[in-house]
Amino acid sequence: MKKLIALALIAFLGLSSAMAQQVDLRRKISVSGTSETEVTPDIIYIGISLKEYLNGKKKVDITELEKQLYAAVQKAGIAKENLTISNLSSWNYTTEKKKNPDFLASKQYRLKVSDLNKFNLILESLDAKGIDNTNIESYDYSKIETLKKELKVKALLAAKEKAAYMVEALGDKLGSVIEIQDGGDNVMQPVYRNYAMKAEMADASSAPEIDFKKIKLNFTVNAVFEIK
């Protein structure tokens, strides 16, 4: 029995010693650093919907409207590959025409641009009566991943600077970093004003102005430093 008690005591003391060794007794400071910036989207996808209309008794065909669109895109200096058909409601044009002589075909397109001002130039070159509506579908920044890395590094350095002046204010010195935690990505996409350009806008002197806003990026890095 005495041997068992002695063994249990030794085991307990050994466990206590191991736990004591695992406790981090270093003086530490926990801080957070942030960095932010704004960038102008340089990848913008715009939806364009064209629709046939009656000019008196004459129907303006979807093919004619499509030719205008492709010509306007080329005139604006945009590669033709950046304009694609996203939806087609005129595939059964012949059948629908037989059923309903007043059937008006329509097509939806997706245009990729790097500058919204070019899109305004395109609209000014189109027959406004043939434009059913347009809207901005999505947007992005081509170098956003590189920018994220740069901002997170700045956030970490900001955390270190904050820790340094706080520690030095108490007469101590900042030691090496113990722990770093990424606060996650915080990318605020701009909200553009979607707008429709209908037949009643045919007499407008110019294309509608598009709200031009930027992508906001904000990052936080949490860090723990040793105090010497």
In this predicted model, what pLDDT tens digit does every residue of 8-34 receive, in sequence order?
A: 555 555 555 555 557 888 999 999 999
Q: Which residue has the tokens 């004591």?
A: 20
Question: What is the rounded distance in angstroms from the CA atom of residue 91 to the CA atom of residue 84?
Answer: 16
Grouping H, G, I as helix, E, B as strand and the rest as coil, residue 181 is: strand
Q: Residue 197 CB: number of other CB atoms within 10 A? A: 21
Residue type, 17: S
Q: Tell me the torsion sign for CA atoms 139, 142, 148, 153.
A: negative
| Structure token pair of residue 178 | 């113990």
Closest to 178 measured CA to CA, from 25, 17, 18:
25
pLDDT, tens only, 50-71? 999 988 888 898 889 999 999 9
Question: Picking from 73-77, 117-121, 205-209, which range would have the lowest pLDDT averaged per residue?
Answer: 205-209
Torsion of CA 116, 122, 124, 128, to 10 degrees: -110
Q: Dihedral sign, CA of 94, 99, 100, 106? A: negative
Q: Tell me how crowded residue 8 is: count the other CB atoms within 10 A of its CB.
A: 10
What whole-number distance in Å separates Cα of residue 157 and Cα of residue 180? 11
| pTM of structure | 0.68
CA distance 104 to 132: 12
Amino acid occupying residue 23: V
Question: Is residue 163 scored above 70 in pLDDT?
Answer: yes
**Position 104 pLDDT exceeds 60:** yes
Q: Are 127 and 65 in contact (CB under 8 A)?
A: yes
